């Protein structure tokens, strides 16, 4: 038997707190429900090069809306539209369309885990033309620069927590597919329940999801414990030139490095997790050259430095301990600018 979140004995709680303490006002939830219930079609987008939280949250809500009889369109705005290999186990991918098939002027659009307009990539144009845009997000750096309605709670460990709440409020049920999508978001953004964002509410949500019968072992293996052989070779190259300087550890992976082993850009997500182990460093940085030749800069902090602020100053955003931005400079110039901002932080 699959548990229904509506069966919870307690009144609805948002991220473990009574609704009146939630960063999302009741009025915003009500308006979101109204907009969604009225819509025949809901166009949904998550941020470019989606992670488990972005794609998982979007697909989970898409399942719910589809079961309510809505037409759903889901996408993300990458030039090279491909679901990262490590997320291909997520159910519901038949609901995805490439950005060129996304409605040009949707009546109702919902965005997931995208903290800036820029992070919507090619779907920015549709977002700008949409009549209503509901923004579902948890990034503290999200300043509400886009959208007509914000469901933003920066205290939530993952957008998946807001997605679960939305599903609950829409009267949806958690089945194994929806739970798998939400769980992917929850474990991705809490680093498998290791980060400081892992509150009792996170574990309570995990319990509800796991109770649907999902395979936590298989999800963990898909997300973190597999890679093509070429990853080891590219990683070896990146580690061979890793640099430690004054509390900062950093390296880079170029397009040429990846091309030698046919390794897609999306395989590089784990490199930063190896660098951030470094005892001598407070901040870790990995520069990853994407297929367009831009450097995607991933940063991590152990807590004393707000890398979200550093990355925001460089045109990006994220969380206190995990943030990123895009650089069109060379590796050398990118690091010069990064160090300059880091000194200010
Ligand atoms: Mn997230």
Cα of 113 to ligand 1 centre, how many Å? 5
Cα of 19 to ligand 1 centre, how many Å? 21
pLDDT at residue number 15: 44
Cα of 240 to ligand 1 centre, how many Å? 31
**Mean pLDDT to the nearest integer, 276-296:** 97
Choice among 73-77, 87-91, 170-174, 223-227 with the minimum mean pLDDT: 223-227
Cα of 192 to ligand 1 centre, how many Å? 13
Which H or E element spans position 226?
none
Closest CA to 322 of 306, 336, 335, 338: 306
Percentage, residues of the chain above pLDDT 70: 94
pLDDT at residue number 210: 98
pLDDT at residue number 200: 95
- Distance, CA of 304 to CA of 342 (rounded, Å): 12
Ligand 1 ion local residues (Cβ < 5 A) = 53, 113, 159, 189
Cα of 159 to ligand 1 centre, how many Å? 5
pLDDT at residue number 144: 86
Residue 3 has pLDDT above 70, yes or no: no
**Mean pLDDT to the nearest integer, 238-256:** 97
Residue 40 has pLDDT above 60, yes or no: yes
Residue 11 pLDDT class (50, 70, 90 cuts): very low
Closest CA to 298 of 315, 280, 311, 279: 311
pLDDT at residue number 22: 63
Set out the domains of the chain in order of their start, with CATH numbers. 5-223 (3.90.1640.10), 229-344 (3.10.310.30)
pLDDT at residue number 10: 45
pLDDT at residue number 140: 86
**Mean pLDDT to the nearest integer, 53-76:** 98
- The string of pLDDT tens digits covering residues 89-148 is 999 999 999 999 999 999 999 999 999 999 999 999 999 999 999 999 999 888 888 999
**Mean pLDDT to the nearest integer, 29-40:** 98
Residue 157 has pLDDT above 90, yes or no: yes
Cα of 133 to ligand 1 centre, how many Å? 18
- For the chain, what is the mean pLDDT? 93
What dihedral do alpha carbons 135, 205, 273, 266 form, nearest 10°?
-50
Cα of 243 to ligand 1 centre, how many Å? 28
Closest CA to 255 of 207, 288, 300, 225: 288
- Phi and psi, residue 310, nearest 5°: -60, -45
Cα of 2 to ligand 1 centre, how many Å? 26
Cα of 178 to ligand 1 centre, how many Å? 17
Q: Burial, 302: exposed, middle or buried (Cβ in 10 Å; 0-12, 13-18, 19+)?
A: middle
pLDDT at residue number 1: 40
* 248-253, strands of its sheet edge to edge: 243-245, 248-253, 283-289, 295-301, 322-327, 317-318
Cα of 56 to ligand 1 centre, how many Å? 10
pLDDT at residue number 19: 46
Percentage, residues of the chain above pLDDT 90: 88
Cα of 83 to ligand 1 centre, how many Å? 17
More confident residue, 192 or 22: 192
Task: Return the HEC string of 247-290.
Answer: CEEEEEECHHHHHCCCCCHHHHHHHHHHHCCCCCCCEEEEEEEC
């Amino acid at each position: 038997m699959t548990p229904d979140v509506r069966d919870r004995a307690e009144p609805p709680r948002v991220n473990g707190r009574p609704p009146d303490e939630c960063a999302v006002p009741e009025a915003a939830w009500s308006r979101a429900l109204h907009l969604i219930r009225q819509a025949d079609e809901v166009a949904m987008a998550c941020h470019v090069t989606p992670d488990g939280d972005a794609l998982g949250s979007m697909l989970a809500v898409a399942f719910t809306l589809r079961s309510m009889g809505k037409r759903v369109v889901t996408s993300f705005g990458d030039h090279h539209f491909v679901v990262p290999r490590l997320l291909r186990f997520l159910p519901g991918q038949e609901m995805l369309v490439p950005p060129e098939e996304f409605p040009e002027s949707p009546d109702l659009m919902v965005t997931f885990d995208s903290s800036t307009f820029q992070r919507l990539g090619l779907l920015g144009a549709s977002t700008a033309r949409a009549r209503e845009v509901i923004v579902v997000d948890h990034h503290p750096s999200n300043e509400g620069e886009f959208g007509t309605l914000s469901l933003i709670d920066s205290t939530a460990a993952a957008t998946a927590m807001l997605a679960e709440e939305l599903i609950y409020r829409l009267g949806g049920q958690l089945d194994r597919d929806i739970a798998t999508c939400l769980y992917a978001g929850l474990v991705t953004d809490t680093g498998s329940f290791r980060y400081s964002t892992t509150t009792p509410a996170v574990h309570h949500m995990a319990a509800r999801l796991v109770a649907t019968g999902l395979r936590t072992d298989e999800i963990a293996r898909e997300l973190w414990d597999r890679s093509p052989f070429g990853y080891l070779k590219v990683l070896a190259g990146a580690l061979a030139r890793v640099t430690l300087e004054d509390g900062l550890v950093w390296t880079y992976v170029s397009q040429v490095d990846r091309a030698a082993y046919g390794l897609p850009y999306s395989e590089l997500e784990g490199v930063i997790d190896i660098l951030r182990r470094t005892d001598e460093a407070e901040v870790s940085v990995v520069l990853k050259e994407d297929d367009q030749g831009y450097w995607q800069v991933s940063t991590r902090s152990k807590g004393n430095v707000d890398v979200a602020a550093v990355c925001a100053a460089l045109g990006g955003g994220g969380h206190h301990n995990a943030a990123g931005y895009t650089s069109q400079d060379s590796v050398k110039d990118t690091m010069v600018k990064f160090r300059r901002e880091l000194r200010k932080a």
